[in-house]
């Protein structure tokens, strides 16, 4: 399975509201196999983002 494929099961303890992402599932769940958050040396939450995000087809 590719890194960016859906795992079929949500990542526990991740609550994501980005409902335009292909990994988003009802109930603010993320179904990616894993998520990559970036960048290094961020100073606050506004500077961080989910690098695994992919727009829903
Ligand atoms: S991949 Fe990132 S943006 Fe997409 S549902 Fe998961 S946590 Fe949210």
- How much is the pLDDT for 3? 55
What mean pLDDT comes out for the span 45-55? 98
Write out the two tokens for 10.
């949500």
Write the burial class of residue 14 (CB in 10 Å: 0-12 exposed, 13-18 middle, 19+ buried).
middle
> Ligand 1 atom 3: the closest Cα is on which residue?
53
For 18, residues 6+ apart whose C-beta sits below 8 A from its C-beta are 24, 50, 53
- CA distances in angstroms from 40 to 7, 18, 47, 57, listed in the order given: 26, 22, 10, 29
**pLDDT, tens only, 2-23:** 456 788 799 999 999 999 999 9
Alpha carbon nearest to ligand 1 atom 4, residue:
53
pLDDT, residue 5, reads 75
Distance 19 CA to ligand 1 centre (A): 8
Interval 38-47: pLDDT, tens = 999 999 999 9
- Is 1's pLDDT higher than 80? no
Decide if pLDDT at 56 tops 90: yes
E strand or H helix that includes residue 7 = none
Ligand 1 pocket member 50 (CB < 6 A) = yes
């Amino acid at each position: 399975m590719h890194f960016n494929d859906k795992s079929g099961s949500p990542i526990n303890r991740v609550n994501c509201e980005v409902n335009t992402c292909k990994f988003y599932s009802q109930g603010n769940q993320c179904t990616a196999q894993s998520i990559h958050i970036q960048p290094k040396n961020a100073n606050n939450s506004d500077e961080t983002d989910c690098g695994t995000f992919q727009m829903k087809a």
